[in-house]
Structure 1
Amino acid sequence: MKTVHRLVVALGVSLVGVGPASAAEPVGLRSLSVPAPERGAKIAVDLWYPAGTGGTAENHGASPLFEGVSVRRDADIATGRFPLVVLAHGGLRSNPNLASWIASHLAGRGALVALPRSPAPETAGEAPDEVRLRPGDLSAALDRIENDPALAAHLASGNVSAVGFFLGGTSALALAGARLDPQAYRASCDPPARGPDCAWFATNGVDLSGRVTEAFGASHRDPRIRAVVAVAPELVGSLTRESLGAVDVPVTVIGLGAPAADREIPGARQLALPEANVFTAFGRCTARALTLLAAEGEDDAICREDGPRSRADLQAELAGMIDAALANIAAP
């Protein structure tokens, strides 16, 4: 992954792809500037939506490695009221464009999708703070949309959900009331337990025991969230059992290949996609991606498809799981 990351940076590549199936409706995309109170700064939020008239055609995120997503930049929002999904994808160093395939899918099927472009930490030492800041980014995006009359006019009342992948899945669970245990998070890189970023932390001399304060245990519950889908959520073993047991909205946890989590979430619907792996949640690669990676001497795991099912096929099934989980959200 480290060598792949270097190639991505060198090429200026955005990790995006095409949705698992053609969108049912044209998809619009616009950028919002959103105050994030917990950061004391503004963040960018991508708003995906069923497109009305106007806009400029764009192959969003096309790159040498990854296919783009067809959108109409700054189109009007289609007439009607739609469910709202706050979406988070990836880990501490992931490009937010990783989520384009599922954002496009959800918007094409009639949802407003708010995707915060949470800032990547400038140093490894700052990275642990993102675990406690990113749930607030999702709530801030929701605030921004609800407080904008032009956008709020398109909201279906009470139909708000959170979908997250990897650390984004952990953030989505936090909106449902899951809370970090600071002590458990401090120990998450202690042998034999190894969290997803432990090697990076070790290389950069980051000691979680000196970085993680009691503030990491604060609640980020957002009562507006009516359902959560967490795909391969990270750090579930660092969430308190008490907070997980108190979650009172429908939660669906989806594993990619391996089991989704190392701690059972009471009442959650547990699903799995056994043929998948972490790269299934990335975008679809171009026809020349493997050749390009080989020419650069890079690991081609990011684009290699070894199994009998294509990434497009697996993404279609994963998207269907998410659709089903969000289909019957109860009104408040």
Structure 2
Amino acid sequence: MIRSALRNVIPIQKMDDMMKRLLLSALCTLTFSSAFANDELPGFDEITVKTTHRTRPVAGSIWYPVGTKTYKGLRGDNPVFVGNYAYVGAGVKEGKFPLILFSHGSGGNMFSAGWLFSALAKKGAMVVAVNHPGSTSGDSSPRRSILLDERAKDLSATLDTILNDPNFNRYIDQSQIIAAGFSMGGASVLNLAGARWDREKFSQYCKTYKSADPGCIFFSKGGVDFDHLPDGFIGNAKDERVTKVVSIDPGYTVAFDKASAKDIQIPVQFINIGHQDRTFGADLEAEGNNILSLIPDASYAVTDHGDHFAFLPSCKPEGTALLEADNDDPVCTDPEGTDRVEVHEQIQQYMEKFIGLD
């Protein structure tokens, strides 16, 4: 009908030229749509976690495969770091998906690994992250960050919340509940798997590395008394519902009780970032704390390059200057030759294979 109508007003040659342009335009549209479809966004929503060990609720978020779309929202974007887009409040795709509980590092937050959450959700996982009070961005206190057992309790409470949430619980494959974390969060998920802290070892470690380990330096600045760590510090935080653990550049693993680490009966994947500038507490190999030799079902992977901070989101051009102005950690300054995107892709691939998403 359109072609017939055009004949009445456009000469044949011009009409053919126009049809070519229309066809080319349509082809470009289809190509763009296909490219967009291959780079689909995850779903995102926020949750509130009520706990018995905190005086106030814990803020959380969930990333998941999309069933029905809503609108695009940018999450985790700030003057230093690049954020990630997601469909806010979108419907969940039908099916059953592995659930990943994520614990951020000291001073991080529930968006600190948005790049990873987005990628895993697009591959078919649900990812829940929380802000650990007293140890999160804008609310990071040495005296409260040292309460390491409370971090594991946050994760268990988050699991309680999401498994009882009718908006999400029917999509969760409860036979695949993975606890994952970075830095202090990497240690927190080992705590959740059954490893227990040893106060004497922790105290000795931070006394020995008080000028070398960033975490111990932070604790010392806040006047933490390493000889009188809280009683709850050594408590049992094991959650039997967790089926696997991914621990990325974990801190303080040298301070775990060896017997409790040997009793961990679930698969644990350790990931180190790069081969250089590791602190003793985060070096998992024989030259470091050698925790790999303790856990029966442990696997190990290491990225080709990068260092501890390369796990964090890609930085904006002005990020380094802003951090220097605030005398903050150089989290945007990577070792020479580091491509942070490549580091992220390697970590993502290691996790996908371990979880079974590849």
Shift in Å, 1:23:
7.9
Distance 1:71 1:271 in 2: 29
1:284 maps to 314
1:113 maps to 127
Tell which has more relative contact order, 1 or 2 (C-alpha 8 A, sep 6+).
1
On the 8 A contact 2:46/2:59 being kept in 1, the answer is yes
Deviates more, 1:106-115 or 1:178-187: 178-187
Match of 1:153 among 161, 166, 170: 170
1:180 maps to 197
Distance 1:291 1:220 in 2: 40
Amino acid at match of 1:165: F
Shift in Å, 1:26:
2.2
Task: Rate the CA distance shift 1:192–1:172 in 2: closer, same or farther, 3 A.
Answer: closer
Secondary structure of the corresponding residue to residue 146 of structure 2: helix
- TM-score, structure 1 as length reference: 0.83
On the 8 A contact 1:23/1:105 being kept in 2, the answer is no
Shift in Å, 1:33:
0.8
Task: Rate the CA distance shift 1:206–1:65 in 2: closer, same or farther, 3 A.
Answer: same
Shift in Å, 1:152:
1.1
Distance 2:330 2:44 in 1: 30
Shift in Å, 1:198:
1.9
- TM-score, structure 2 as length reference: 0.78
Deviates more, 1:66-75 or 1:198-207: 198-207
Secondary structure of the corresponding residue to residue 32 of structure 1: strand
On the 8 A contact 1:134/1:171 being kept in 2, the answer is yes
Distance 2:94 2:326 in 1: 49
Shift in Å, 1:307:
3.1
Pair 1:47 & 2:62 matched: yes
Amino acid at match of 2:299: R
Shift in Å, 1:201:
2.5
1:214 maps to 231
Task: Rate the CA distance shift 1:309–1:28 in 2: closer, same or farther, 3 A.
Answer: same
1:196-275 correspondence to structure 2 within 5 Å: 196-210=214-228, 212-257=229-274, 258=278, 259-260=283-284, 262-264=289-291, 265-267=294-296, 268-275=298-305
Shift in Å, 1:202:
2.4
Shift in Å, 1:57:
1.0
Distance 2:154 2:62 in 1: 14
Distance 2:39 2:264 in 1: 33
Could you tell me the percent identity over the aligned residues? 27
1:76 maps to 91
Root-mean-square deviation over aligned CA pairs? 2.4
Task: Rate the CA distance shift 1:127–1:291 in 2: closer, same or farther, 3 A.
Answer: closer
2:355 maps to 326
Shift in Å, 1:112:
0.9
Q: Which has the larger radius of gyration?
A: 2
Secondary structure of the corresponding residue to residue 98 of structure 1: coil
Amino acid at match of 1:271: A
Secondary structure of the corresponding residue to residue 229 of structure 1: strand
Amino acid at match of 1:324: K
Shift in Å, 1:242:
0.4
Secondary structure of the corresponding residue to residue 222 of structure 1: coil
Shift in Å, 1:56:
2.4
1:135 maps to 152
Shift in Å, 1:195:
4.5
Count of residue pairs the alignment pairs up: 303
Pair 1:98 & 2:118 matched: no
Task: Rate the CA distance shift 1:299–1:245 in 2: closer, same or farther, 3 A.
Answer: closer
Amino acid at match of 1:48: W
Shift in Å, 1:170:
0.8
